[in-house]
A and B are shown apart, each in its own frame.
Chain A
Amino acid sequence: MAYDKFTTLTSPAVPLPIENVDTDQIIPARFLKAVERKGFGDNLFRDWRYDKSNQPIADFPLNQAKYSGKILVGGKNFGSGSSREHAAWAIYDYGFRVVVSSFFADIFQGNALNNGILPVVVSPEFLEKIFMAIEADQNTLFEVDLENQKFTICGTGESVGFSINPYKKHCLTNGLDDIDYLISMKEEIAAFEK
């Protein structure tokens, strides 16, 4: 799936200080019935965002005008549960390009990377600092520098390194996906089959 190249991003962040945010919350199963990839952002966090009568739930961060930006900051073990890539599509479609947590579930992390979303893992202590920085000032900016693998709280200048697989970094930086690469390996795959 084509996505925009990722190099650096400077943006405020939306806080979601909840742990074990599972993919059923990110996008409930009843919204997985599409056969095309579009419009999933509308149902991102559907049941936390809207009540039974489809009215926005005021205290949910995505409904609070004071929060904005392309960075979502979640509690530990973000993206657990189902393998639905729709979760990554919903996050991307809503407009997020970076998700920060102290810990990601494996399948979600892979799906995010395959869809141009950068998962940034920081220490639990640094995660707490990010939440505190947003609480102090919702407009505070964060810089995500993929090239140098650095995440910075702009207001305080505090910065932390994050790791990413070099191949995946190359893919994100150039907007490439694995599928073309694998298709180009046709002969090696045929040789392996023998």
Chain B
Amino acid sequence: METKTLFDKIWDAHVVKEVEGGPSVLYIDQHLIHEVTSPVAFLGLEKRGAKVLRPEKTVATPDHNVPTINQHLSIKDELSRNQVEMLKKNCATHGIVYHGLGSEGHGVVHIIGPEMGITQPGMTIVCGDSHTSTHGAFGAIAFGIGTSEVEMVLASQCIMQPKPRKMLIAVNGKLNKGVTAKDIALYVIAQISTSGGTGHFIEFAGSAIESLTMEGRMTLCNMSIECGARGGMIAPDQTTFDYVKGRQFAPKGEDWVKKLAYWKTLKSDADAVFDTVYEFDAANIEPMITFGTNPGMGIGISQNVPDSNKLTGSDKLTYEKSLKYMGYTEGDKMVGKKIDYVFVGSCTNGRIEDFRSFTAFVKGKKKANNVTAWIVPGSRAVEKQIIAEGLVEILNAAGFELRQPGCSACLAMNDDKIPEGKYSVSTSNRNFEGRQGPGARTLLASPLTAAAAAVTGKITDPREFL
């Protein structure tokens, strides 16, 4: 019998048709939309005179553009406000559920899907956002799409996709103290580069991955796009089932029993074949930080900025351009470098566990005077949980304020922009030039490493305090 990977099993169950010499027509179980990549898709739909085929399979929320303070007021930026209002209007016209700003269900699209139990094992999930890969943590095929594809899904609940190759990334062993899912992600990307996963869909496996909570697994799968992969996924297990059970849209009663039995079959066959395989030892991973302008330019926090001796041609030019932008020099020690901003949040690290980790670290300490910190929950539910657990008092006592949910400084489409030339230790996913604002310099790290930087005002190894 033909052996299959986890990816094959889900993919094959969703192929409506194989187009000759072309991509597969893939059925989409769940579509998520936000204000930035959907308006042109709705316009296109209207121009064709087409309707949304299955409005109940799309969920909407505005996240990219929204302010993270005073959300009860009208959005000041006219263009942002217009985009948010357009989403609301399009959803009303087409009968799509809309979780508006300030509502109980509001949040970053990749945070609210899982917390509402919309994200489930075995599903195909797409969104006009590359970090849709987050949902792969549940053993789903989830990937980011362009606006033309958003229109395809609205019109037909299907998408045309070539089947990607399959990659296995196994991380085995016990994680070191102070090492989180974010560090695994940054380590893997540093090892295989930002294009190492291109053309592939990744399955993460191994004992270190199995030991992660759902929040950690989401962080890891979220970052799979940063190595170029279409997405990343993890076979569902008891941790997954326990997380999904009881959530608002999770199956109930007999349906739960039936679904659970199916979900338990969702794993790669023992002798399944992957096109590419990497194995890493968890013992080699230390808290990570980036020093350059793509997420593959990451090193263990105790290390120095690598030199470019081995690089030639455009590789070398690109590397030098990157260090120049960052204001760093080859051989620089990362620890001790002064920083200006700390951002905790985003679809990568905006879940309750991330704020627990940050808060536990800063408890009884004080924010450094030279640091501006933006602590932004990923959703209303996360915000409420932070308050319910009493974390907000601890944060306030340490000199931090909690903001309101949204994508915020991850991509700086709202007012949360890091000023030119300033250094930001950020728990988000991209350190591209200008990502957090024109001229901003981003250092990607875990919430724990961000906490250490926030209280010392410089890049600090969090293990010194643990």
Contact = CB atoms under 8 A, between A and B. Distances in A.
Given A20-B194, A20-B318, A75-B318, A179 B16 contact: no
A18 interface: yes
A84 B430 CA distance: 14
Interface in B129-170: 129-130, 144-149, 151-152, 155-160, 162, 164
A36 B144 CA distance: 21
Pick from A32, A75, A168 the residue with the most CB of B within 10 Å: A32
A28 interface: yes
Nearest to A19: B318
B413 A29 contact: yes
B130 A183 contact: no
Interface string A16-60: 011110101100111011111100000000010000100000000
Contacts of B433: 24-25, 47
Contact of B148 (A24, A111, A168, A192): A111
Nearest to A103: B195
18 contacts: A1-B44, A17-B317, A19-B314, A24-B435, A29-B411, A35-B40, A36-B43, A75-B318, A80-B294, A81-B130, A81-B432, A105-B228, A107-B230, A115-B148, A179-B148, A179-B156, A182-B158, A182-B160
B148 A106 contact: no
B97 to A, nearest CB: 19
Contact of A186 (B156, B294, B434): B156
A105 B195 contact: yes
A140 interface: no
Contact of B130 (A47, A76, A82, A181): A82
Given A114-B149, A185-B25, A192-B27, A25 B162 contact: no
A33 B16 CA distance: 35
A35 B83 contact: yes
Given A18-B321, A29-B413, A107-B130, A80 B194 contact: yes
A77 B80 CA distance: 31
Interface string B67-89: 00000000001011011001000
B22 interface: yes
Interface string B39-50: 110011000101
A165 B162 CA distance: 9
Contacts, number: 192
Interface residues of B, number: 69
Given A52-B420, A165-B21, A177 B194 contact: no
B53 interface: yes
A83 B148 contact: no
B457 interface: no
Contacts of A193: 27, 157
Contacts of B413: 29-30, 32-33
Given A165-B22, A182-B25, A189 B158 contact: yes
A88 interface: yes
Contact of A185 (B36, B158, B199): B158
Nearest to B145: A83
Interface in B73-116: 77, 79-80, 82-83, 86
A185 B156 contact: yes
A179 B155 contact: yes
User: 4 shortest A-B CB distances, which residue pairs?
Assistant: A167-B22, A166-B21, A33-B79, A85-B146
A4 interface: no
Contacts of A111: 146-148
B85 to A, nearest CB: 9
